[in-house]
């Protein structure tokens, strides 16, 4: 259908998914205490992060303990490869999907390729598409496996929210900041850090894997300026972003209905943003809320890593044959939905 890209796969499976989380916990109470002067001056009630976003805490890397997003991503990748029973030398592709990065070049993928001990024949590159990157990476990897170009792929992500949160808090304490300025950067305070990795392979070589059936994507790029972020800060028109995102998801859902029956999935793994966002998606798509697990209260919004982290946590409760739908929306706006047969 026009504006609704549909992809189907017949011989690709998710073999494993793993995560690695920071040890340092930053509570919303702590952040709001640091912002106490600004909240008082702007006459904003305390508890915004907990009451409005539903984020109680998030994780941050403990640099003093040697933690970092790259190191944790390597750990997640090693764990995913081991759980999949795939040797590094058998990997033909690595896609890094992180939003945060220490430098513009080279790609983040090159260090991860080296640290994971992948062969020189393994293609490696970054894919950036805001919070939708991991699902896009899985789709790209699945296409290359389906075409016969590669046998195994690893898709990884590592996010570090430290710098952007520190910079945002310092800026929001400035005397020139008004209520509108504060609210435009509110979403930044919900961000968290974390890493994840997934290994994909051929279904006929891995009968115990979880087939990736395919999915849909849809774009509404007229909203490209509703959420714009950098290492210095992230500025969001929250109300318009929520409405635009919901309209996009609902339109994609409706157009996909003739080809995909997603109304009775066993689990909906959604991108983790906030209570407001999750409740709105559940209502708009008519989902069973009991089948929509949430990690944002404990981990915040971990960007592209949130879907694989949530899936990694849920996998122990999934049974063979369960139908799982990955659902994400990324700034820009773009949405993607991908079905797995567990």
Which residues are the active-site residues?
105, 131
Residue 80 near residue 17 (C-beta atoms within 8 A): yes
Closest CA to 298 of 17, 64, 50, 108: 50
* CA nearest to 313, candidates 75, 74, 58, 17: 17
Task: Say which DSSP state 45 is in.
Answer: P
> In sequence order, what DSSP letters do the residues of 192-247 get, joined into one string?
--EEEEEEEEETTT-TTSEEEEEEEEEE-GGGTTSEEE-SS-EEE-HHHHHHHHHH
71: buried, middle or exposed (CB in 10 Å: 19+, 13-18, 0-12)? middle
The two structure tokens encoding residue 337: 């939905």
Q: Are 327 and 262 contacting, i.e. CB atoms less than 8 angstroms apart?
A: no
Through-space distance between the first and last CA atoms of the chain, rounded to whole angstroms: 27
| Cross-strand pairs, 202 | 12
Instruction: Look at the alpha carbons of 171, 176, 182, 184 in this order and tell me if their dihedral is positive or negative.
Output: negative
């Amino acid at each position: 259908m026009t504006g609704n890209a549909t992809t189907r796969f017949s011989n690709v499976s998710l073999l494993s998914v793993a995560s690695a989380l920071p040890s340092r916990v930053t509570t919303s109470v702590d952040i709001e205490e640091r912002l106490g002067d600004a909240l008082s001056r702007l006459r904003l009630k305390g508890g915004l992060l907990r009451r409005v976003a539903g984020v109680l805490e998030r994780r941050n890397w403990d640099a003093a303990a040697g933690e970092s997003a790259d190191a944790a991503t390597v750990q997640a990748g090693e764990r995913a490869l081991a759980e999949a029973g795939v040797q590094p030398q058998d990997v033909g592709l690595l896609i890094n999907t992180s939003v945060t990065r220490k430098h513009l070049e080279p790609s983040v993928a090159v260090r991860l390729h080296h640290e994971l001990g992948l062969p020189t024949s393994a293609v490696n590159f970054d894919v950036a598409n805001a919070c939708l990157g991991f699902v896009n990476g899985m789709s790209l990897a699945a296409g290359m496996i389906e075409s016969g170009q590669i046998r195994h792929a690893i898709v990884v992500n590592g996010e570090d929210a430290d710098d952007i949160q520190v910079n945002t808090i310092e800026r929001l304490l400035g005397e020139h900041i008004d209520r509108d300025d504060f609210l435009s950067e509110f979403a930044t305070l919900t961000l968290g850090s974390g890493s994840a990795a997934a290994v994909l392979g051929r279904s006929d070589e891995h009968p115990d894997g979880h087939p990736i059936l395919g999915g849909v994507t849809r774009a509404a790029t007229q909203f490209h300026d509703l959420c714009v972020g950098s290492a210095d800060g992230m500025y969001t028109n929250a109300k318009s972003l929520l409405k635009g995102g919901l309209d996009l998801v609902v339109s994609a859902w409706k157009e996909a209905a003739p080809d995909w029956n997603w109304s009775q999935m066993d689990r909906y793994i959604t991108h983790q943003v906030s209570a407001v966002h999750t409740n709105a998606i559940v209502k708009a798509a008519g989902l069973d809320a009991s089948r929509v697990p949430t990690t944002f209260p404990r981990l915040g919004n971990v960007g592209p890593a949130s879907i694989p982290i949530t899936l990694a946590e849920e996998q122990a409760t999934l049974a063979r044959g369960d139908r799982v739908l990955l659902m994400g929306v990324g700034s820009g706006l773009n949405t993607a939905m991908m079905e797995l047969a567990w």
